[in-house]
Chains A and B, each alone.
Chain A
Amino acid sequence: MSSKKTVFLTIEGKSLGFYFLLGVFALMVLAGLGASYYMEHHGHVVTGMNNQIVWGMPHVFAVFLIVAASGALNVASISSAFGKVAYKPLARLSALLAITLLVGGLVVLVLDLGRPDRLIVAMTRYNFKSIFAWNIYLYIGFIGVVAAYLWMMFEQRMNRFTSAVGTFAFVWRFILTTGTGSIFGFIVARQAYDAALLAPTFVIMSLSFGTAVFILMLHFIYSMTGRELGDLLVGRLRNLLSIFVAAVFYMTLIFHLTNLYGTQHHGVERFLLLEGGVFTQVFWIGQIGIGTLAPLALFWLPGINKSRGSILLGSLMVVIGGLSQIFVIIIGAQAYPLTLFPGKTVSSSFFDGAINTYSPSLPEWVLGISGFGIALLATLIAIRVLPFLPQRLTDAQTES
């Protein structure tokens, strides 16, 4: 048990640094809205997307944020659902990030629609055979459930329900990420998808990306507000993250090994792993090098794994690796042509049989990155208005 009661405080929010960050994040959001307006006004012809690569860079950022959102809740789940007291002081921030990251991702997803003005149609008409339609419920429901969870934590007389609601939120997030992975897993037509393994892979990816984002946010908020953040707690989070990173690597390994066994998938595997140009590079350098091996070295090698710098750099690398992984999953899979006639070489005016290329345009990058802007802006305002963060997180508190 913690030696004394945790005191939660809002951040002061009067410093130049606070207003500077507020301004930067607000500008990111405005730039994203501008990019979206530009894309909608001219049509998607101004993007790098086309009839071959139909989902582009905005989807990479949106899916990353949505996946990271459910993973960010992990810290709270460990405290409420699994009763680990050491993480309890972090539960509020964990739940807050779950909401803000999800909102950031969803806004990007909606703003990239061909008809974002028809959001009301998406909210009122449902085809329940579509995992996309289910996800709309799962995402909105998740925000509601986590908001309720926060209320249980904030309101003293409701504290006794924290564990129950937290467990419910944990189950919900599990289903939610399964749903997100199934968006791809249920696509029977594409050579690189159509695998039930994608759903659990997304769940583990969410734990990894969400924990990495959480560590980064926790450190920067505490260092900028001059609050104490003990190494013991950060070290525990690092251990947790390293297990998740290794687990994602394992799932990736199994996915490719299974594909490599069946001859019909050799083409797509050769493309992704060897001959896919930018996709191959992003896979090996981004996902495996920067996103997996380097962070594992930073987290595990004695001598450097205790330094805060290593942990932060490793977490940042996990984020970059995560974006790389989703880039390969979403765009790499579309770049490889559909196999309609096995054993034949096909060609057409519609790029049948051709490896498709994709060069994202500036508005796509801006819209995608603005998702982070939305999440950061909302988080900054929330911690200014409500007491999400403990006054200090010392090693003495963490030792339980």
Chain B
Amino acid sequence: MSTTKRPDNRGRRRFLTAAGGVTAVATIAPGVRLIQRVLAKEDDQAVSSAVRWGMLINTNKCATGCNDCVTACNSEHGLRDTGRPDTDPQWIRKVKLVDDQTGKETSLPMMCQHCEKPPCVDVCPTGASFRRTDGVVLVDKHICIGCRYCMMACPYKARSFVHQTLTDQRPWSPRGKGTVEACTFCVHRVDRGQQPACVEACAGADHGALVFGNLNDPKSEISKRAKAVSSRQIRADLDLNTGVRYEGV
């Protein structure tokens, strides 16, 4: 019998090992990235009720006089000061509270509370006010007829009516004269895995009073904190199950 020398295929093995590794990384990486991006969503992917976006606001950390969240929101969505405070839209505002009995002062940001059962959505005649399945309450500016019934119905005074012609709107934040608008939870950022502009600004100012995340994910920072500390809904008596909760008030 003749012995045939086995061909030296170590090079091929090395190649296959490397290729397999690359393939494995290529296969798993997007998943890993997806986890890292905390449920960021591709543009062609529908929103899911598995997510409930929410915000926990620690009023103890919210500094009196600081307006960074408001400035960031205005800049992100192109809300400008026209010198008419009674008609200028405000999507987020700082509210100062003074307890009538004790005199204790509190400062907190107020905006759309992204209710699970939003009165604005209930009353809207055309369905322009709607709630995404991930909990974000929005206005479809193409269907809004500008009746303002939602503004009458919102318990939080969270909505604004556009009283005059707008120019230079942000492409990601459609707005128009004669329609109603409010905080969008910065869906355009959240869908890309980023934080809302106000949350980023608050963290940037080293206050960290705003925590944003998925209330349905028990491992998320917001869920852990909401479980650990005492927080409340504003006008909890209306039983709207708001997406925004407050600590220390």
Q: Give the interface of A toward B (CB within 8 A).
A: 40, 42-45, 50-52, 54-55, 113-116, 118-119, 121-122, 125-127, 129-133, 136, 183, 186-190, 334, 338, 340-341, 343-352
Contact = CB atoms under 8 A, between A and B. Distances in A.
B149 A132 contact: yes
A346 B165 CA distance: 31
Contact of B164 (A42, A51, A55, A190): A42
Contacts of B90: 51, 349-350
B127 A189 contact: no
B85 interface: yes
Interface string B90-104: 100111111111000
Nearest to B156: A340
Given A122-B145, A130-B124, A45 B101 contact: no
Given A187-B152, A341-B234, A348 B110 contact: yes
B186 interface: no
Contact of B144 (A55, A115, A188, A334): A115
Interface string B105-144: 0100010000000010111111100000000000000011
Contacts of B95: 340, 346-348, 352
Contacts, number: 169
A345 B238 CA distance: 21
A113 B110 contact: no
A44 B162 CA distance: 8
A100 to B, nearest CB: 23
The A interface, classified by DSSP as helix, strand, loop or mixed, is: loop
Contacts of B106: 344
Q: Which 7 A-B pairs have the closest CB atoms?
A: A114-B146, A114-B178, A189-B155, A132-B125, A43-B164, A50-B86, A45-B163
Given A132-B125, A189-B119, A343 B100 contact: yes
Given A45-B87, A351-B86, 5 more contacts: A113-B145, A131-B123, A132-B149, A187-B123, A347-B96
Contacts of B151: 51, 54
A136 B125 contact: yes
Most buried by B among A52, A54, A133: A54
The B interface, classified by DSSP as helix, strand, loop or mixed, is: loop
Given A40-B178, A43-B164, A115-B178, A352 B93 contact: yes
Nearest to B127: A127
Contacts of A349: 85, 90, 93-94
A262 B88 CA distance: 35
A121 B148 CA distance: 15
A189 B153 contact: yes
A52 B86 contact: yes
Given A50-B87, A51-B86, A340-B155, A115 B145 contact: yes
26 contacts: A43-B162, A50-B163, A113-B146, A113-B178, A114-B147, A114-B180, A115-B178, A118-B143, A122-B147, A125-B127, A127-B121, A127-B124, A131-B123, A132-B123, A132-B147, A133-B125, A136-B125, A189-B119, A189-B153, A340-B95, A344-B100, A345-B100, A348-B94, A349-B94, A350-B85, A350-B157
Nearest to B107: A348
Contacts of B185: none
Contacts of A54: 148, 151-152, 161
B160 interface: yes
A42 B164 CA distance: 6
Given A113-B145, A122-B145, A350 B93 contact: yes
B58 interface: no
B87 A51 contact: yes
B124 A114 contact: no
A110 B180 CA distance: 16
Given A43-B164, A349-B90, A130 B96 contact: no
A125 B144 CA distance: 11
Contacts of B123: 129-132, 186-187
Contacts of A132: 123-125, 147, 149
A121 B177 contact: no
